[in-house]
């Protein structure tokens, strides 16, 4: 499934990176999820994000689809994109 998503993004030509968020808690389940995404090529960032409306903390993970992309690698910067996505999604934009 991940390979198909990567291929689709690459073939459309309009994506430089895949960006996801994962729970930061170090439970066995969350560690297994992080490991899955890392074996799929995603890079885990160190920054831990605290949403005001949920108790869980999150980290960003990214997978560059374009070599030498100028996209930020800092987790705090990446959460600006994730937060904008959430805002747009919940406002129906």
What domains are defined for the chain?
A: 2-91 (3.40.630.30)
Q: What is the DSSP letter of 72?
A: -
Global model pTM greater than 0.85: yes
Print pLDDT tens along the chain (93 aa). 999 999 999 888 789 999 999 999 999 999 999 999 999 999 999 999 999 889 999 999 999 998 888 888 999 999 998 988 888 888 865
Distances (CA, A) of 46 to 43, 69, 91: 10, 20, 29
Q: Which helix (H) or strand (E) holds 16?
A: none
* Digit-coded pLDDT (tens) for 43-63: 999 999 999 889 999 999 999
The tokens describing 71, both together, are 């996209």
Q: How far is CA 61 from CA 31, 42, 54, in A?
A: 13, 6, 19
Mean pLDDT value across the chain: 91
pLDDT of residue 20: 95
């Amino acid at each position: 499934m991940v390979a198909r998503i990567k291929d689709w993004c690459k073939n459309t030509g309009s994506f430089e990176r895949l960006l996801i968020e994962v729970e930061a808690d170090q439970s066995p389940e969350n560690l297994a999820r992080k490991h899955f995404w890392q074996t799929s090529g995603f890079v885990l960032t160190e920054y831990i994000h605290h949403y005001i409306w949920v108790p869980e903390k999150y980290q960003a993970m990214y997978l560059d689809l374009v070599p030498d992309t100028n996209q930020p690698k800092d987790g705090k910067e990446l959460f600006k994109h994730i937060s904008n996505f959430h805002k747009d999604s919940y406002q129906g934009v």
